[in-house]
Amino acid sequence: MDLKEAIRKERMDRIHRLIDSYVDRSVIIPEGFPLAFQKTVIIKQASNANMMKTNAGFLLIESSANNHLIPNIGHVYAVGPECSEHIKVGLRVFFNQFANLEVMIKGEVYMIIDEREVYGALPDSAFVRMDTLTDKEVSRKEGLDRQITYQENKFKQDQEIKDDLDFLGNGGKH
């Protein structure tokens, strides 16, 4: 084994140990939980939504205008046999929230996604804030703020000119 290969192996070992430290061992897989096939992962999303049951027995998930505030973070509950060895049951992960199939298993909502849509692992101690603005939203907001400031200043200038004209029209008297 050459030096380059030894360094790569040591780096991979460190990554494995770090990922193992991120796994939440308290995640309990329900009895009869489905198996993931090929390169799929079943995730239970951390959710801010509430579920309610109607009188007719339908389960409704509360929808809101703040749906973008629901984080695309969850715990892995099942891993397909062809998935990367880095993805493990109990791991808290970031994932693509638009590349999923939502399923109801024993009254709970889970997502089935391809392993390529799992972007990274997070320790439970990591705080994730979902109400941040994208660069595009920031630049749009800054542009709107500049436009509002310009309009306010223009209104003030127009008002001063009008006051000056009124003052001159009255022969310099208020």
| 114 and 45 in a common domain | yes
Supply the CATH number for residue 91's domain: 2.30.33.40
User: Domain containing 163: what range?
Assistant: 133-174
For the chain, the average pLDDT equals 79
Q: Which two tokens stand for residue 41?
A: 């992962």
Burial, 89: exposed, middle or buried (Cβ in 10 Å; 0-12, 13-18, 19+)?
middle
| 73 and 111 in a common domain | yes
| 49 and 19 in a common domain | yes
Q: Which two tokens stand for residue 10?
A: 């040591």
**Rounded average pLDDT over 82-104:** 85
Q: How far apart are CA 93 and CA 161, in angstroms?
A: 60
| 115 and 71 in a common domain | yes
| 146 and 64 in a common domain | no
| 100 and 21 in a common domain | yes
Q: How far apart are CA 47 and CA 100, in angstroms?
A: 15
More confident site: 172 or 163: 163
**pLDDT of 43-79, one tens digit each?**
988 764 444 556 665 555 544 444 455 568 889 999 9
Residue 130 pLDDT level (bands cut at 50, 70, 90): low
| 60 and 140 in a common domain | no
Q: Which two tokens stand for residue 160?
A: 């001063």
Q: Which of 84, 100, 121 is the last residue of a domain?
A: 121
Question: Which pLDDT value is given to residue 58?
Answer: 56
Task: Read off the pTM.
Answer: 0.58
